Amino acid sequence: QEHSIELPLPYIYHTFAERSVKLVPIMVGSLSENDAEAVAQTLIPYFVDPANFFVFSSDFCHWGERFSYQYYDKSQGPIWKSIEYVDRLGMDVIETQSPEAFQRYMETYQKPTICGRNPIRVLLHMLHSLPNQFDVSFNYYDQSSKCTKSTDSSVSYVSGLVQPRPDTSP
């Protein structure tokens, strides 16, 4: 059940309430690494144009038996802390802007439980093609529930921002 457009729409509407804007949704399904790179190259001219605003929508870790994902590093404490640890590793990797590092992270920890992993890969390919031009930061993190036992389940949510780096030329 696709929800990547319906969830951010109220925020987009609120942000641009005083302006007339055109919304161009782009759905990204399964992509090979070459296809992710090709989509990124196609979008770069629009991405760097300050008249455009991009939203990449994804929730993060889906943990629990119903999601077929129950990675748990007991050294992190309760299950919910282990989930947060793995999510924050993912945020750190995304901040490096490396598609390869994100792929390694996904293979190591998340498998397919980040629904928007493919749009994130496209974003990372764009940023990788535009070195030192953008900063990535995360400003919000939460979980739908704090899992304490293996029968619990949770979905993680993060909010991040990609901004052009300030011009540092003299």
Per residue in 68-109, pLDDT tens?
999 999 999 999 999 999 999 999 999 999 999 999 999 999
Tokens representing 113 are 């439980």
Q: pLDDT band at 139, cuts 50/70/90?
A: very high
Q: Is the dihedral angle over the CA atoms 8, 9, 10, 11 positive or is it negative?
A: positive
The token pair at 97 is 């802007």
| pLDDT at residue 1 in the model | 63
**pLDDT computed for residue 28 by the predictor:** 86
Strand stretches in 62-129, DSSP E: 62-63
Mean pLDDT across the chain:
92
Do the strands 62-63 and 154-164 form a parallel or antiparallel pair, or are they unpaired? antiparallel
More confident residue, 127 or 28: 127
Comparison of pLDDT for 27 and 85, the residue scoring more = 85
> According to the model, what pLDDT value does residue 58 have?
86
Question: pLDDT, tens digit, for every residue of 33-53?
Answer: 999 999 999 999 999 998 898
pLDDT tops 90 at residue 165: yes
Is residue 168's pLDDT more than 70?
no
Per-residue 3-state assignment (H helix, E strand, C coil) for the chain: CCCCCCCCHHHHHHHCCCCCCCCCCCCCCCCCHHHHHHHHHHHHHHHCCCCCCCCCCCCCCEEEHHHCECCCCHHHCCHHHHHHHHHHHHHHHHHCCCHHHHHHHHHHHHCCCCCCHHHHHHHHHHHHHCCCCEEEEEEEEEECCCCCCCCCCEEEEEEEEEEECCCCCC
* Per-residue pLDDT tens digits for 123-136: 999 999 999 999 99
